[in-house]
Amino acid sequence: MRASKTTINVAPQSSFRNESGKPVLIAGPCSAESEEQMLQTAQLLKKNQDITIFKAGIWKSRTRPNNFEGVGLPGLLWLDMVKKETGLRTACDVANAQQTDEALRQGVDILCISGRATVNPFAVQEIAEALRGTDTPVLVNNPVYPDLRLWVGAFERLEQANLSDLGAIHRGYSGEDHDLYRSHPKWEHMLQLRRELPELPVLCDSSHIAGKRSLLYPVSQRALDLGVDGLLFESHVSPAEALSSQQQQLMPQELELLINALATRVKLSETAELVDQLDILRQQVESLDNELMELLLRRSAVTRQLSTNGLGSSMQPLQANRWQGQLESLLQQTGNNNLAASVVKAIGQPARSASENSLGTSAVA
């Protein structure tokens, strides 16, 4: 269901647009882990003039307990130190009003509402009230599952709290296509948001979608081709030692190479072509799945009609012979494809049994 049309009053000089028109680049570690790690990463990132905002995870929302959940307040102090030492603006995710208050007290420049908070209107409302009366820039991550109304609703709540410096972060959706992406991009949802709120800056969290370094280029390039206003990357001085998301973080020097490749559209490897091909094949599979499901539902309806209007047990030999002939014909069409043959048998044999049983039951009745 399409969300109702909404107008968001975006600040004329939004924090999430470069005056030059170039995409905004935000980078930093998935998690703040130590003062040394934060400073070293920030100082190296500062060398790339295109990176203007340093973002680090202070609180890490985990599905289950007893995992690393961030360092909390010390990380905010390290963020403040990064700002003073490098001049980079700072950003972090918040998921509730308490985290929002603490981030504001420590002078974090930009707050990002986490996807697990976006899915909860009560949490968004509490964050909006905590921000009321400030001019803090706010980026809103898409909810963890694709619901455009929740995403738009978050912006409406923030605007009603008189916040105008707003932007969106598209970071994909959990629970799908884990063989390829960490979070499925579902680009169409990002485009729907842009149609709904055309003046709203939209950034793409390439690292969170990709989940692995090899996919960062194709994901980022696809986002740029779709017209995003900025990109987010996770960067760590030593990704192999990171306490979270090791596979998707780049060393600052590697990130610079990636940014240069995006600027010149020079592909770093054949990964981009592979991902494009996989996307096309995935879309074809989804289309075929939909067609197959529709046919199975129609077939089920016809089978129920047979059960209701059975012609008696005398039809069983004829029915069995017809099913056997159809099954053999379909199996011949599969040739040497063992998987296709197994699918045909899986569908054909139970259907035959069900039809015979329904005719027998009808005859007794």
DSSP H helices in the chain: 35-46, 73-86, 97-105, 115-118, 121-131, 148-160, 187-196, 206-210, 216-225, 252-264, 271-308, 316-334, 338-364
**Phi–psi pair at 232, nearest 5 degrees:** -115, 135
Q: Quote the pLDDT of residue 2.
A: 40
Q: In 10 A of CB 143, how many CB atoms? A: 24
Residue, of 190 and 343, whose pLDDT is higher:
190
Q: Quote the pLDDT of residue 364.
A: 34
Least confident of 155-159, 203-207, 264-268, 334-338: 334-338
Segment 55-109, tens digit of pLDDT: 999 999 888 888 888 999 999 999 999 999 999 999 999 999 999 999 999 999 9
**Phi–psi pair at 53, nearest 5 degrees:** -130, 135
What band does 358 get if pLDDT is binned at 50, 70 and 90?
very low
What band does 365 get if pLDDT is binned at 50, 70 and 90?
very low
- List of residues 6+ apart from 319 with CB closer than 8 A: 355, 356, 359
- Contact 234/28 with Cβ under 8 angstroms? yes
Whole-number percent of the chain with pLDDT over 90: 61
- Contact 158/128 with Cβ under 8 angstroms? yes
pLDDT over 70 at 357, yes or no? no
What band does 275 get if pLDDT is binned at 50, 70 and 90?
low
Q: What is the pTM of this model?
A: 0.73
- Among candidate residues 138, 93, 130, 132, the one with its CA nearest the CA of residue 114: 93
Q: Quote the pLDDT of residue 338.
A: 58
pLDDT over 60 at 350, yes or no? no
Least confident of 162-171, 237-246, 320-329: 320-329
Count of alpha carbons within 13 Å of 106, Cβ hemisphere only?
26
Residue, of 330 and 78, whose pLDDT is higher:
78
Least confident of 29-43, 142-156, 265-279: 265-279
Q: What are the residue boundaries of the structural domains of the chain, listed by start?
A: 24-269, 274-364
Segment 125-152, tens digit of pLDDT: 999 999 999 999 999 999 999 999 999 9
Domain 24-269, second-level architecture: Alpha-Beta Barrel (3.20)
- Contact 193/2 with Cβ under 8 angstroms? no
Q: Quote the pLDDT of residue 222.
A: 94
Find the mean pLDDT for residues 213-240: 95
Q: Quote the pLDDT of residue 10.
A: 47
Q: What is the mean pLDDT of the chain?
A: 83
pLDDT over 90 at 304, yes or no? no
Segment 175-225, tens digit of pLDDT: 655 568 889 999 999 999 999 999 999 999 999 999 999 899 999 999 999
Q: Report the distance separating Cα 275 and Cα 38, nearest Å.
A: 32
